[in-house]
């Protein structure tokens, strides 16, 4: 038996909308700093290497251990927020991240640094997916696309803003300064969110956290959700993969860190432009918006393969970034609407997990493919992203848009 796309969507019986501007501003600011922790140690590798007497390759694990713990934490954060409430988990997550950041700054040895970074990654994971679930449930439908686009743009902007900020703070103090400042700001943000976010929606019946964790894999029984998660993996794999490949073998950017940093900075306007266009984009049905944005992203990556220098490469990567910024909220909207309200946090957390899986697989793939050269590698990435377009197209087709059973 098949269902229409509309019948496959789930909504709260009595949603309570919240003020859009201050909610989005608070969530975006926190997301920028929380997600930025993942990238903050990248410009500090040489300093960490000197401070602890380890190789630069070993110092790079400070980013990896954060990422692994971050992914694991996301899978737990969603089900926990389904039971305890979005506001409570988001505020506690920010407070925990603040505490963990301070602990990182006190690490006396390199093994202790790795352990505390893992703790920080796990704590940080309790904010981003919960923030997206909160927006999906509480922002008025007229403003939801704009809200999601703005917050998700801060996720992507963090990859540029956080390394630059960490490097600037290290110049004033040392590598510990970033984490000390982060701890203070995150604590302030926790207090801010306690005031800005509205009390959680009371549900008539709520399963235990353990039950929600057991139910998490059942979401993959939905052909529609599975297809959307597969698309999510290809999107972030392509986004991070092309950027990494450009750093390794790009025209005018290979072996030129300053030029590559300038190219990255040139993508930031796309993170600002798409949220401004979000009200107009919201008029387009989510399915059409998703597939179109994916097509733009793939076309931009294919165009990057023909770049002859850093200027044309920057234009292509800016277009790719714009496509990803438009794609992500369409994915979140569709995933959130497809899942039942009682499992929306779990569904969004699984989205965050698959997003990170794609990003984690990208760098090793780019390193392995650098021998092919940038044009061939970029063309190959565009081809893989085409599979993501096919998956999204099939997943949102009415014949497979079945409701999810809890």
- Beta carbons of 246 and 264 less than 8 angstroms apart: no
Angle, CA 401 vertex, CA 300 and CA 203 arms, to 5°: 105
What's the fold here for domain 213-406?
A: Growth Hormone; Chain: A; (1.20.1250)
3-state class of 282 per DSSP? coil
List, as one string, the DSSP characters of 104-161. HHT--SHHHHHHHHHHHHHHHTTSHHHHHHHHHHHS-HHHHHHHHHHHHHHHHHHHHH
For the chain, domain boundaries: 18-201, 213-406
Work out the number of other CB atoms within 10 angstroms of the CB of residue 58.
Answer: 15
The angle that helices 141-172 and 128-138 make with each other, rounded to 10 degrees, is: 150
Residue-wise pLDDT tens digits, 83-129: 788 889 999 999 999 999 999 999 999 999 999 999 999 999 999 88
Query: Which residues lie below 8 Å from residue 26, measured CB to CB, with a gap of 6+?
Result: 189, 192, 193, 196, 197
DSSP 8-state secondary structure symbol assigned to residue 85:
-
Architecture of the structural domain at 18-201: Up-down Bundle (1.20)
| pLDDT tens digit sequence for 171-212 | 898 999 999 999 999 999 999 999 998 887 766 555 666 666
Q: Counting beta carbons within 10 angstroms of the beta carbon of residue 5, is it exposed (0 to 12), middle (13 to 18) or buried (19 or more)? A: middle
21-40 pLDDT tens trace: 899 999 999 999 999 998 88
Asked if 323 and 231 count as a contact pair (C-beta separation under 8 A), the reply is no
* Residue 38: both structure tokens together: 């993942």
Each residue's pLDDT tens digit, 315-362? 999 999 889 888 888 888 888 777 666 666 677 778 888 887 787 677
């Amino acid at each position: 038996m098949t269902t229409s796309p509309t019948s496959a969507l789930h909504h709260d019986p009595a949603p309570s909308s919240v003020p859009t501007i201050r909610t989005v501003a608070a969530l975006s600011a926190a997301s920028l700093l929380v997600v930025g922790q993942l990238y903050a140690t990248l410009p500090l590798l040489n300093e960490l290497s000197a401070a602890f007497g380890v190789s630069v390759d070993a110092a790079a694990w400070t980013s990896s251990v954060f990422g692994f713990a971050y992914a694991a934490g996301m899978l737990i954060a969603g089900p926990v927020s389904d039971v305890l409430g979005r506001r409570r988990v988001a505020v506690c997550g920010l407070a925990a991240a603040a505490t963990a950041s301070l602990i990182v700054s006190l690490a006396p040895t390199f093994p202790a640094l790795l352990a505390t970074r893992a703790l920080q990654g796990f704590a940080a994971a309790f904010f981003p997916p919960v923030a997206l679930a909160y927006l999906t449930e509480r922002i008025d439908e007229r403003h939801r696309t704009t809200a999601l686009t703005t917050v998700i743009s801060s996720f992507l902007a963090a990859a540029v803003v956080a390394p630059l900020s960490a490097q600037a703070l290290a110049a004033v103090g040392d590598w510990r300064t970033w984490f000390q400042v982060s701890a203070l700001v995150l604590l302030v943000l926790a207090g801010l969110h306690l005031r800005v976010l509205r009390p959680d929606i009371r549900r008539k019946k709520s399963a235990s956290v353990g039950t929600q964790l057991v139910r998490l894999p059942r979401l993959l029984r939905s052909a529609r959700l599975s297809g959307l998660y597969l698309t999510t993996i290809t999107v972030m794999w392509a986004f991070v993969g092309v950027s990494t490949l450009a750093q390794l073998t790009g025209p005018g950017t290979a072996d030129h860190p300053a030029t590559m940093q300038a190219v990255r900075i040139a993508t930031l306007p796309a993170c600002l432009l798409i949220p401004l266009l979000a009200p107009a984009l919201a008029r387009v049905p989510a399915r059409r918006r998703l597939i179109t944005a994916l097509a733009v992203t793939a076309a931009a990556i294919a165009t990057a393969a023909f770049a002859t220098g850093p200027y044309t490469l920057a234009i292509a990567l800016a277009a790719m970034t714009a496509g990803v910024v438009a794609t992500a909220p369409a994915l979140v909207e569709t995933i959130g609407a497809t899942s039942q309200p009682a499992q929306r946090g779990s569904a969004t957390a699984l989205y965050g997990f698959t997003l990170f899986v794609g990003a984690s697989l990208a760098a090793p793939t780019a390193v392995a493919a650098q021998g092919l050269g940038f044009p061939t590698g970029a063309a190959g990435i565009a081809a893989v992203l085409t599979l993501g377009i096919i998956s999204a197209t099939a997943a949102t087709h009415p014949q497979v848009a079945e409701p999810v059973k809890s």
